[in-house]
Amino acid sequence: MDISHIEHLGIAVENLQNAIDFYENTLGIHCYATEEVKDQHVKTAFFKIGDTKIELLESTSPDGPIAKFIEKKGQGIHHIAFAVKDTNKALKIAEQRGVKLIDKKSRKGAEGLDIGFLHPKSTQGVLTELCSKK
């Protein structure tokens, strides 16, 4: 699959601004970007620590995946994202290895990355994202 590193951790939060304040003022890491991803019904905020990022996710809709996640499990780590060379290739390999896919083909995620999700039922309970740069 050619995983090179953890690209980011996705963290579901109830209130993006409160969460940004915590990361910036308490942990002292700088939010370098915010972005709304309309088809995912989320607002995101990004922090970089070494090669890895933190992606905070606030739902923009009560029916969105992040709202549903928080309803079930509360705020917290939502997914782990691995950087790969080619998301579509990696999705195909995962499927060949018996992994249930959420995305059969990559789609556009935040920061213009090609992303695809593996189903947590096939990944030891952790929602897993694969992502690559164009």
**116 binding Zn ion? (CB under 5 A):** no
The residue among 22 and 117 lying less far from Zn ion, judged by its C-beta, is 117
One residue of 19, 20, 54, 81 binding Zn ion per CB under 5 A: 81
CB of 81 to Zn ion, least distance (A): 4
DSSP for 67-80, please give it. Answer: HHHHHHH-SEEEEE
Q: Compute CA 118 distance to the chain's CA centroid, rounded to the nearest angstrom.
A: 11
Closer to Zn ion by Cβ: residue 67 or 81: 81
Q: Facing residues of 81 across strands?
A: 8, 129
Please, which residue, 22 or 55, has the CB nearer to Zn ion? Answer: 55
| 10, 59, 116, 130: residue in contact with Zn ion (rule CB under 5 A) | 10
